Amino acid sequence: MNVSVPFTAEQAKKLKAGDVVNISGVIYTARDAAHKRMLEEYDKTGKFPFDIYNQIVYYAGPAPAKPNEVIGSVGPTTSYRMDVYSPVLLRFGLRGMIGKGIRNNEVIQAMKQYTGVYFGATGGAGALLAKHIESVEVIAYEDLGAEAIRKLVVKDFPVIVIIDSEGNNLYETEPIKYRK
Amino acid sequence: MREISVELITDTIAQMCIEANCCLNEDVHTALERAKQKESSPIGKEILCQLTENADIALQKNMPICQDTGMAIVFLEIGQEVHITGGLLEDAVNEGVRKGYEKGYLRKSVVEDPFLRVNTKDNTPAILYTKIVAGDNIDITVAPKGFGSENMSRVYMLKPSDGIEGAKKAILETVEQAGANPCPPMVVGVGCGGSFEYSAYLAKKALLRPIGSHSDKKHIREMEQELLQKMNDTGIGPQGLGGNTTVLGVNIESYATHIAGMPIAINISCHVTRHCHKVI
Ligand code: SF4
């Protein structure tokens, strides 16, 4: 299944937990430090450093690019560290998040209420994921280094829908099938 | 006395930081290949295929296997016949890390203070363990450690009466609670005995042992085998999305301890368990 970003709540509703999805378009990287600053900036100015409506945030901080390469390895970081910030962003229309690992109940409730999708990218497959990135531009908080916000243009970026907008959650439903 | 210059130490460590981060160790690669054959979940199998493909791309492009190129954990076993010349050992190690992370385009992931959190921008300082041994060589191991998995690690101060069953329960519960967070399949290092901090050190050392190797103490070996089976029976699977490849290996180190205690430390690592070893 293909998803191009930006994508609407209507489109997000069609995605179901377990769907294997290729994302194309623009996504934005942000980790803990960037999330913290984004919300501080919103409190002060009433604006985010980019328009988050119908967009996707990728929890990642790349390794530096070598000469002649677009980007270094860039796999997902563990998502639960962003749990305190995500409900607010979902309320303002953030549509998708890409990361790895569990989310807390507040995030899942906000995803249901505001129609958000949580995608998983394969943790530790940074070299493979880098091949799906066509361009990179730091758009905010450059001083944070790897943790700065980067605008990535991606092509067929491979992810799996882990938690859908109805709250179906692969981490809850799948492991028990294989438990002995 | 054999003289070894700090430059040699620096250059060797710089090279090793790059090698450790870009070439997946043979034992991990083999374990992933084997897991691919055995994994019964289709998504799990697909993920394992991505992981070996990822390692191949990293090797071919000489780029890091994972963007979290870790904190550099350096173990030195220094022969007591060695005289280090030209500077201080600790500076030489940090200079090696600085050079390696710069030259290898590795990510700088170290902040200078746990609360103020300003990035040091060169991945120093390293975590350095030294041991004085016989001989006139320096035996160097560089083991970059990512924190997605490090954060899932634990130390338990169990009671002697908890026994080996109590220890197994603690280890298994740590893996189950780590779930999808440490990028399973994991590698689990366990340190049993010693003191509070020494058990954690042993757990880290256990991760340096090749996957598939076993303790030569019978009861520990049996514990490793039983736990490996039980962990893979949890169903967590690759990336926590279900399957029977939750853990690639369980390595346990043990040491003498006090009559009143039984420290058990569990150091969780991932499928990007890295270490590079050289003797100079
Ligand atoms: S847990 Fe391991 S594979 Fe996952 S991001 Fe961290 S270092 Fe990479």
Nearest residue (by CA) to ligand 1, atom 2, is B270
Coil, strand or helix: which one is B205? helix
| Amino acid present at B258 | H
Q: Let me know whether B184 and B112 are in one domain.
A: no
pLDDT score recorded for residue A166: 97
* Beta-bridge mates of residue B3: B83
CATH number at residue A78: 3.20.130.10
Task: Enumerate residues 6+ apart whose C-beta is below 8 A from B113.
Answer: none
Q: What is the mean pLDDT of residues B8-18?
A: 97
Residue A98's φ and ψ, nearest 5 degrees, are -120, 130
Using the Cβ of A99 and the Cβ atoms of chain B, whether some distance falls under 8 Å is answered with no
Specify the number of domains making up chain B.
Answer: 2
**Which of B61, B145, B147, B239 is the mutation pick for testing A, counting most A CBs within 10 A?**
B239
A159 CB neighbours in chain B (<8 A) are none
Q: Let me know whether B165 and B141 are in one domain.
A: no
Cβ distance B272 to A78 less than 8 Å, yes or no, reads no
Whole-number Å distance between alpha carbons of B246 and B237: 4
Task: Enumerate residues 6+ apart whose C-beta is below 8 A from B219.
Answer: B164
- Point out the residues of A that are catalytic: 35
Task: Enumerate residues 6+ apart whose C-beta is below 8 A from B98.
Answer: B122, B123, B124
Structural domain span for residue A60: 2-178
Does any domain span residue B259?
yes
Specify the number of domains making up chain A.
Answer: 1
Short-list B230, B233, B272, B235, CA closest to B250: B230
Using the 3D structure, point to which of B99, B124, B145 is the last residue of a domain: B145
Burial class (CB in 10 A: 0-12, 13-18, 19+), A18: middle
Q: CA geometry: angle at B152 spanning B148 and B157, to 5°? A: 155
What's the first-to-final CA gap in chain A, in angstroms? 32
pLDDT score recorded for residue A145: 87
Decide if pLDDT at B38 tops 90.
yes
Q: Let me know whether B16 and B101 are in one domain.
A: yes
The structure's pTM equals 0.93
Q: Which atom of ligand 1 is nearest to the CA of B150?
A: 1
Q: CA geometry: angle at A122 spanning B210 and A148, to 5°? A: 105
Q: Are strands A20-29 and A56-58 parallel, antiparallel or unpaired?
A: parallel
Q: Let me know whether B74 and B140 are in one domain.
A: yes
List, for residues B88-121, the tens digit of each pLDDT value: 999 999 999 999 999 999 999 999 999 999 899 9
ipTM score of complex: 0.91
Q: Can you list the residues of chain A whose pLDDT is less than 50?
A: none
Partner-chain residue, chosen from B233, B240, B271, that has the shortest CB–CB distance to A101: B240
Coil, strand or helix: which one is B262? strand
For tokens 């060797």, name the residue: B12
Does any domain span residue B106?
yes
Whole-number Å distance between alpha carbons of B236 and B243: 6
Does any domain span residue B41?
no
Q: CA geometry: angle at B208 spanning B207 and B214, to 5°? A: 75
Using the 3D structure, point to which of B93, B123, B145 is the last residue of a domain: B145
Q: Which two tokens stand for residue B254?
A: 């043990």
Structural domain span for residue B8: 2-20+65-145
Whole-number Å distance between alpha carbons of B148 and B214: 26
Q: Let me know whether B160 and B139 are in one domain.
A: no
Type and span of the H or E element at B221: helix B218-232
Nearest residue (by CA) to ligand 1, atom 5, is A124
Whole-number Å distance between alpha carbons of A55 and B210: 43
Does any domain span residue B79?
yes
pLDDT score recorded for residue A129: 97
Q: Let me know whether B158 and B243 are in one domain.
A: yes
Question: Over B48-96, what HEC string results?
Answer: HHHHHHHHHHHHHHCCCCCCCCCEEEEEEEEECCEEEECCCHHHHHHHH
Partner-chain residue, chosen from B107, B181, B272, that has the shortest CB–CB distance to A102: B181
Burial class (CB in 10 A: 0-12, 13-18, 19+), B24: buried
Coil, strand or helix: which one is A145? helix
List, for residues B246-279, the tens digit of each pLDDT value: 999 999 999 999 999 999 999 999 999 999 999 9
Q: Which two tokens stand for residue B12?
A: 């060797």
Q: Let me know whether B252 and B200 are in one domain.
A: yes
Using the 3D structure, point to which of B94, B122, B145 is the last residue of a domain: B145
pLDDT score recorded for residue B13: 98
Nearest residue (by CA) to ligand 1, atom 3, is A124
* Beta-bridge mates of residue B82: B2
Whole-number Å distance between alpha carbons of B178 and B168: 16
Quote the distance between the C-alpha of residue B9 and its chain's center: 21
Contact A28, A151 (CB under 8 A): yes
Does any domain span residue B280?
no
Query: Residue B202 gets which letter from DSSP?
Result: H
How far is the centre of ligand 1, averaged over its atoms, from the C-alpha of B236 (Å)? 17
pLDDT score recorded for residue A53: 96
Short-list A79, A106, A90, CA closest to A9: A90
% pLDDT > 90, chain B: 99
Whole-number Å distance between alpha carbons of B121 and B132: 31
Tell me the HSE value of A47 on the side-chain side, using a 13 A CA sphere.
Answer: 5
Contact B176, B235 (CB under 8 A): no
pLDDT score recorded for residue A146: 87
Contact A50, A29 (CB under 8 A): no
The per-residue pLDDT of chain B, averaged, comes to 96
Instruction: Dump the DSSP string for A47-108.
Output: --SS--TT-EEE---PPPPPTT-S----PPPBGGGGTTTHHHHHHTT--EEEEBS---HHHH
Q: Let me know whether B255 and B133 are in one domain.
A: no
Q: Is B270 in the pocket of ligand 1 (CB under 6 A)?
A: yes
% pLDDT > 70, chain B: 100
% pLDDT > 70, chain A: 100
Decide if pLDDT at B162 tops 90.
yes
Q: Let me know whether B111 and B229 are in one domain.
A: no
Does any domain span residue B279?
no
Q: Let me know whether B140 and B86 are in one domain.
A: yes
Task: Enumerate residues 6+ apart whose C-beta is below 8 A from B28.
Answer: B187, B211, B248, B271, B272, B273
Does any domain span residue B214?
yes
Query: Residue B279 gets which letter from DSSP?
Result: E
Coil, strand or helix: which one is B101? helix
Give the number of other Cβ atoms within 10 Å of residue A64's Cβ: 21
Q: Let me know whether B88 and B161 are in one domain.
A: no
List, for residues B56-98, the tens digit of each pLDDT value: 999 999 999 999 999 999 999 999 999 999 999 999 999 999 9
Coil, strand or helix: which one is A147? helix
Query: Residue B219 gets which letter from DSSP?
Result: H
CB pairs under 8 A between A and B: 158
Q: Let me know whether B141 and B16 are in one domain.
A: yes
Does any domain span residue B49?
no
